[in-house]
């Protein structure tokens, strides 16, 4: 065997050995730092008697609606408490996702449920620019009519921080009046 072939074999073995030892070290380190070694399976059995929050009959529609607001991830765009303010370039109004305060003043009960059901795409501020990246998806077929109704109860209960700080549960009593419109 000539020296070139021998040097090539040594080079390949060194590179592969170095790679295997480096990635082996990373795997070992990940095992050391991983909390999985401390986690063991639970011995507790669940009988399924605990009802899901959304299906509880004792819960108010506002609490169920808040649960669905979180479950459907509405807060990603509208903020965790409906305050809005997430940037949506070239979207009307003012390049921001609108807040959800005081919807009872802007929508009827039927219009709000239709908007939730069908979704919405914001108008463009400038027709020469790209479409706004964020649009409200349609929840028809994803959320049941009861879930949409509960979500509307919750959204109608949201009041702007500048108004009197009445509890949200009592604010939901006005929803019945809005439903009759």
Yes or no: say if 104 and 135 are a contact pair by the CB < 8 Å rule: no
DSSP strand E in the chain: where?
none
* pLDDT, block means (10 residues), the chain with 181 residues: 85 77 64 50 48 57 91 86 85 84 86 91 86 87 91 89 52 48 48
What pLDDT, on the 0 to 100 scale, is given for residue 27?
63
What pLDDT, on the 0 to 100 scale, is given for residue 30?
59
The CA distance from 75 to 66, in Å, is 10
Report residue 97: phi and psi, to 5°. -75, 130
Global confidence as pTM: 0.58
Q: Residue 8 belongs to what H/E stretch?
A: helix 3-33
The CA distance from 85 to 87, in Å, is 6
Contacts of 119 (CB under 8 A, 6+ apart): 135, 136, 137, 138, 139
The CA distance from 49 to 42, in Å, is 18
């Amino acid at each position: 065997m000539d020296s070139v072939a021998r040097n090539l074999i040594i080079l390949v073995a060194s590179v592969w050995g170095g790679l295997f030892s480096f990635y082996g070290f990373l795997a070992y380190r990940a095992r050391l730092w991983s909390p999985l070694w401390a986690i063991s399976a639970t011995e507790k059995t669940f009988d399924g008697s605990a009802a899901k929050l959304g299906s509880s009959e004792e819960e108010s529609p506002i609490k169920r609606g808040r649960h669905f607001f979180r479950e459907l991830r509405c807060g990603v765009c509208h903020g965790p408490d409906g305050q809005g303010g997430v940037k949506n370039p070239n979207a009307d109004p003012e390049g921001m996702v609108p807040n959800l305060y005081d919807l009872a003043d802007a929508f009827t009960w039927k219009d709000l449920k239709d908007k939730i059901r069908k979704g919405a795409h914001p108008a463009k501020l400038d027709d020469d620019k790209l479409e706004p990246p964020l649009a409200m998806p349609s929840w028809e077929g994803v959320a049941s009519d009861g879930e949409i109704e509960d979500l509307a109860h919750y959204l109608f209960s949201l009041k702007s921080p500048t108004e009197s700080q009445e509890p949200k549960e009592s604010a939901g009593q006005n929803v019945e009046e809005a439903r009759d419109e």
